Amino acid sequence: MSKVGGKMLDGYQRRFRAIEVVSAAELDAMHQAALEILERAGATVQHEGALALLAEHGCRVDRDAQKAYLPTGLVERCLESCPSSYSIRGRDPGSDVRIGGTRVHFMQGMGMRYVDPDTWELRPATLREHAEAQIVGDALDSVHVMDACFAYTDIAGVPPIMQQLECLASGLRFSGKPQHYGYLKDSHRYAIRMAQALGVTLNSEIDVAPPIVFGHDAVEALIAFAEIGWGLEACPGGAAGATSPGSLAGSVVQMWAGTLAFIVLTQLVNPGAPVGRQVTGTVLHPKWGHPLDGAPESWLLGAMTNQLCARHGVPITSPVGFCGQAKSFDYQAAWEKALGVFFSVTTGSHLHVLHGSHGEELGFSNVLQVMDDDIARAIGRLLDGTEVSDETMATELIVEVASTGANFMSQAHTRQYWMKDRFQPATADWDTNVEWVKGGRTDVVSRARERAEAILATHRPTPLSAEQERAVSEVLDEARECYRASALITAGEWEPYMQAVRSLEGLSQAPTAGTIGGA
Amino acid sequence: MEAGVLDALGAAIVACDARRAAELARQSVDQGVDPLQSFEAMTVAMTEVGRRFEAGECWLPDLVGAADAMQAATPIVEEEIRRQGMARQSLGTVVAGTVEGDIHSIGMQMVCTLLVGAGFEVHNLGISVQPAAFVAAVREHEASVLALSALLTVTAAEQGKVIALLEAEGLRDAVKVMVGGGAVTDDFARRVGADGYEPSAVGAVALAQRFVADLKGSAISQ
């Protein structure tokens, strides 16, 4: 159980059965449909080595079309060899997170740009703001896994090819918790070296383009992570009605087929390699065609996927409900997130993306990280449930009070249970109206801003040792030189990039007040 | 008979029936209907679908389906127009594609389909298109609009490279550039030197229409 104020990363325990939205027969039907798709339509695999591997294991391969047709027997054997849970390792002792089973953890969210909490405008973040987002995430008990790679993906001055590496480096410097990662061209080889130098592992998402297409870079990254046995998340794409069928079941089937193909590849590279599914797929706005993460139909897609994964022992990372369509941190933002995340968690997801994401993943905010902490901990409290026993049913106490006209407030039993396992919001206001007026009629956004500032002023993540910092810097330097040589970092990009890197000086070891609310 | 086949052609487009639209286009040619009138009937049908979309009476898939149906009929009618030595007045020529390194195509496909439906001549270069290929296509087709798509932050930067190459090749002033995709915003479009950005496929068509109007206005004033 995660404790308020503590630093345990056990997460929460789902003590009740996950809600089922489809029947066992319907799950079997969708699974069989996916198997049929893999046999009849196959997967496009834009990687000669992977095609050869698939051919070696009985797939019919058309090299000209870069197609592999996966026989059901192979798929089922590979599914069987997947572990039903796996761990990811962080720097801090006791920070490891196990994904699978009945445990539920939360992951820092993803978002492209900085959200100004005064104007709600979106702009590129600075590298310093990104580092501050890591410090805040590290301080929050309900964030168990960090997503430094994707918390701000548009960072001023940082060349796109270096975005994930710089962000990962900041994440490793400013948090001791395990890290999520992705892939970008061949930068994963530097990410792996950085993580290995610090003795941590990464949990990486690799996409499967719709309908079932494995790009060359994606396969290269998949092979690299599978070979070393680090966690991988299959991310098949599917926007219902555009890149997958317009029906929810059809979208689920297509993406499940992509998941199975992904599992086959990982297991052929390294039998027993840990692999899970990042729950993807949304419905689209009926008029404008953009993804609707805040739509109940998108949540249903996620719930059906959760059930399929649970049935076949596939660990689940889910961003369902992590952000909706709200343009500010308002009532809409709250219900979109809380309902979506709650539904996903209660239908079986294991690692849940949440903190800080905003507006169709177009934005990220420290203020929202703090507000989402309440959502995560409240959901965690629900998951932990409550004990039913002779002690807690308190039959004798009820009989006594009913017989004597006493009250419960003065009972020892009450003193024992009054605060036992009670959720306390860190940002939401539960005081009386009178107290609220006396306190200045603050709203939740302003309270969250204050809390985020306080965290930045006081929280000190476990620092890197000098040797660890040297190792990280050496890998970054090598990556920069490699990408400069191949013109993926242009001459014009270099000086602004170095200015951005220098902006982190002075932030590294000391607590500092941040710039919440604008640069 | 002529009115009947033209009405049926329009109805097939409104009903998103690409196969029927192509059949009726062939029928109209076989019956000797003026192909320019056939094209006019198709345009009227698309305009009606557009009206219904704006009024909330139909949705994006209906718009795309109607445009697909028009796209199925257009080559048949256009071939007849050329055979008779006539020319169809298109709204303008658009070169479109997803930038180098990006394989996402659905957004661009929808934009291209709707542009055809709106009366543009469209050359969709596909996915992961190199800057030089975009520039060559703009030159070859004398495009008035270049539409660049990128879904990812890392590939969005490629849009700026295409625009820079247009400038280097002396073509920048002759073509309006619109950018789009998940990673793009108004601010980003300005930073890379694009002429405009719209977040939706329908908006992109309206933007293209404004572009060609601007270009015509510039041509007149010169």
Structure confidence by residue, pLDDT tens digits, B155-213 = 888 899 999 999 999 999 999 999 998 878 888 899 899 999 998 888 999 999 999 98
For residues B106 and A243, is the Cβ–Cβ distance under 8 A?
yes
Q: For residues A54 and A56, give the distance between their C-alpha atoms in angstroms, rounded to a whole number.
A: 5
Calpha distance B197→A488 (Å, rounded): 25
Of B56, B106, B153, the CB nearest to A242: B106
Q: How confident is the model at residue B214 (pLDDT cuts 50, 70, 90)?
A: confident
Taking contacts as CB-CB distances below 8 angstroms, the residues of chain A near B160 are none
Q: What pLDDT does A6 receive?
A: 34
Instruction: Answer whether A41 touches B (CB < 8 Å).
Output: no
Express each pLDDT in A165-199 by its tens digit: 999 999 999 999 999 999 999 999 999 999 999 99
Reduced 3-state DSSP string for A458-506? HCCCCCCCHHHHHHHHHHHHHHHHHHHHCCCCCHHHHHHHHHHHHCCCC
pLDDT on residue B151? 82
Q: Are A200 and A181 in contact (CB under 8 A)?
A: no
Please state the three-class secondary structure of chain B as a single string.
Answer: CHHHHHHHHHHHHHCCCHHHHHHHHHHHHHCCCCHHHHHHHHHHHHHHHHHHHHCCCCCHHHHHHHHHHHHHHHHHHHHHHHHCCCCCCCCCEEEEEEECCCCCCHHHHHHHHHHHHCCCEEEECCCCECHHHHHHHHHHHCCCEEEEECCCHHHHHHHHHHHHHHHHCCCHHHCEEEEECCCCCHHHHHHHCCCEECCCHHHHHHHHHHHHHHHHHHHHHC
Task: Decide if A333 contacts A371 (C-beta within 8 A).
Answer: no
Enter the DSSP assignment of A20.
-
Is there a contact between A104 and A135 (Cβ–Cβ < 8 Å)? no
B203 contacts on A by Cβ (under 8 Å): 288
| Inter-chain residue contact B199 with A290, CB threshold 8 Å | yes
CA dihedral A439, A442, A446, A450 (to 10 degrees): 10
Q: Among all residues of chain B, which has the CA nearest to that of A159?
A: B154
Gap from B162 CA to chain A (nearest CA, Å): 15
3-state DSSP assignment of residue A275: strand
Q: What is chain A's mean pLDDT, rounded?
A: 93
Give the A:B interface size as CB pairs under 8 Å.
Answer: 52
User: Is residue B113 pLDDT above 50, yes or no?
Assistant: yes
How confident is the model over A350-374, as a mean pLDDT? Answer: 96
Q: What angle do CA A219, A224, A228 make, to 5 degrees?
A: 140
User: What integer is the mean pLDDT of A309-318?
Assistant: 97
CA-to-CA distance for A312 and A330, rounded, in angstroms? Answer: 38
Question: What's the gap in Å between the CA of A118 and the closest CA on chain B?
Answer: 18
pTM of structure:
0.90
A211: preceding bond cis by omega (within 30 degrees): yes
Determine the Cα–Cα distance for residues B119 and B172; give it in Å rounded to an integer. Answer: 24
- Picking from B106, B157, B200, the nearest residue to A243 by CB comes out as B106
A contact residues 406-445, partner B, Cβ 8 Å cutoff: none
Question: Among B178, B36, B205, which residue's Cα sits nearest to residue B118?
Answer: B205
Amino acid identity at A330: D
Name the residue among B40, B142, B61 with its Cα closest to residue B95.
B142
Chain B, 151 to 190: residues with Cβ < 8 Å from chain A are 153-157, 183, 185, 187
d(CA A317, CA A329): 24
B56 touches chain A (CB under 8 A): yes
CA distance A305 to A76: 18
Q: What is the mean pLDDT of residues A402-416?
A: 90
Q: Which amino acid is at A415?
A: R
Dist. CA B15–CA B59, nearest whole Å: 13
Mean pLDDT of B52-56: 90
Cα distances (Å, whole numbers) of residue B192 to A491, B15, B137, B157: 17, 40, 20, 8
**CB-CB neighbours of A505 under 10 Å:** 8
Q: What percent of chain B lies above the pLDDT cut of 70? A: 97
Q: Give residue A511's pLDDT band: very low, low, confident or very high (50, 70, 90).
A: very low
Chain B residues touching A215 at Cβ < 8 A: 103
Residue that is written with structure tokens 């939740």 in the block? A444
- Tell whether A17 lies on the interface with B, counting CB pairs under 8 A: no
From the CB of residue A86, how many other CB atoms can be counted at a distance below 10 Å? Answer: 22
Least confident residue range of A3-12, A371-380, A477-486: A3-12
A2 — pLDDT class (breaks 50, 70, 90): very low
User: Does A496 reach chain B within 8 Å, measured CB to CB?
Assistant: no
Is residue A61 helix, strand or coil?
strand
Say yes or no for a CB contact (<8 Å) between B106 and A239.
yes
Strand partners, A207: A235
What CA–CA distance (Å, rounded) separates A495 from A476? 16
Half-sphere exposure of A83 (CA within 13 A, CB side): 18
Contact A179, A168 (CB under 8 A): yes
Which of A113, A153, A288 shows the shortest C-beta gap to B200?
A288
DSSP codes, A190-222: HHHHHHHHTT--EEEEEEEBTTTEE-HHHHHHH
Three-state DSSP class for A368? Answer: helix
